[in-house]
Copies of this chain bind each other. A is one copy, B any other.
Amino acid sequence: MLIVMHHWATSKDVAQVKKTISSMGLKPVAIPGAARTAIGVIGNQGRVNDAPLRDIKAVMEIIHVTKPYKLVSRDFHPADTVVQLGKKVKVGGTSPFLVIAGPCAVESRKQLMKTARFLKKTGVPVLRGGAYKPRTSPHSFQGMREAGLVLLDEVRKETGLLVVTEVVSPEHVGIVAEHVDILQVGARNMQNFDLLTEVGRIKKPVILKRGLSATVEEWLGSAEYILLGGNPNVVLCERGIRTFETATRNTADLAIIPLVRGMSHLPVIFDPSHATGKRPLVAPMALASIVAGAQGAMIEIHPEPERALSDGPQSLHFKEFEKLRAKIRSLDGFVRKHLA
């Protein structure tokens, strides 16, 4: 439920509304706007009896929200959210298209430093690299885990790059947050609600990937867990969905990018590597996502894709990535100038 106040409402009026909401056993969240204040109500099961609120004169309108999310909605927060990454980088709003790149998994210090230096040179501000790898089989490489975190931490200190890595368990949130700048919740954990709650308790930015068969509503519902926990720094990442088509690893669902940007104020980025699973499709889809409205891309690269411990076939060679980086910059500029 959203209570919209008249423009002439005073802070006393707002306080009265909040008190009334609390007395109904619910939780008020004030959302101050340029013209007027709105107050969100959290904690209700189904439709609330709004009689006590309707009697307050300063209340202009009561909107009953039946969606599984409120805080992530544009109704609640009309302006684009811009998420700050480290001190100098931003994603969302009118910030430049963000590029994140790196290997699927952290494999060694050498591999990671080589990639980081290359990114530094290419002007990419964020390095990705998996320390914990969720794998279908327990017999597959599970990632370097804590040792991988330590390497990521070293690399960011040495190069000044920001680092993002996946967190797979609520109990790892603390240690992961100490070693990297941005946390990622992967597709398989999109509805691991305890993990969502835990990353809601920190303030570091969280990239929330869409689940393999998650609807847009479910995805926004998961983001709601993080915002409701108190962490507003959520970046949504489309990474392809599971369909009958096996010619690509997943089906890149670009159309939901403009859709979600209309529904939510959160930044939306795209992962062309997992969405397609095929090297020659990564560049065209990364570029297409810019035009569709994505605000960033997360791209897998590897010094030697043929020897990668995971995701080799979808990882770009450095040379390929360099060309793509230049095209992204050029297209991003064109889109801002001519298509906005």
On A, residues with C-beta under 8 Å from B are: 42-45, 67-70, 134-141, 168-172, 188-189, 191-195, 212-213, 215-218, 221-222, 224-225, 228, 241-248, 251-259, 262, 275-276, 278, 280-281, 284-285, 287-293, 309, 327, 330-331, 334, 338-339
Contact = CB atoms under 8 A, between A and B. Distances in A.
A261 to B, nearest CB: 9
B137 A224 contact: yes
A183 to B, nearest CB: 15
B191 A134 contact: yes
Copies in the complex: 4
Contacts of A293: 284
Contact of A136 (B221, B245, B327, B334): B221
Contacts of A221: 136-138
Nearest to A198: B169
A291 B284 contact: yes
A271 to B, nearest CB: 12
Contact of A284 (B135, B188, B258): B258
B291 A136 contact: no
B280 A284 contact: no
11 contacts: A45-B141, A45-B309, A168-B194, A169-B192, A241-B243, A254-B254, A255-B276, A255-B281, A258-B281, A287-B291, A334-B334
Nearest to A227: B138
A256 B278 CA distance: 11
Q: Which of A45, A288, A309, A327 has the largest number of chain B CB atoms within 10 A?
A: A288
The list of the 9 closest CB pairs from A to B, nearest first, reads A68-B137, A213-B213, A169-B194, A188-B191, A288-B292, A136-B221, A288-B288, A288-B291, A258-B284
Contact of A285 (B134, B139, B255): B255
Nearest to A45: B141
Given A258-B280, A338-B330, A241 B251 contact: yes
B259 A281 contact: yes
A287 B242 CA distance: 24
Given A137-B224, A259-B278, A284-B292, A243 B251 contact: yes
Q: Which of A67, A172, A338 has the largest number of chain B CB atoms within 10 A?
A: A338
A216 B241 contact: no
Contacts of A248: 255-256, 259
Q: Which of A138, A170, A212, A257 has the largest number of chain B CB atoms within 10 A?
A: A138
Contacts of A137: 67-69, 221, 224
Contacts of A262: 280
A172 B194 CA distance: 10
A228 B138 CA distance: 8
A133 to B, nearest CB: 9
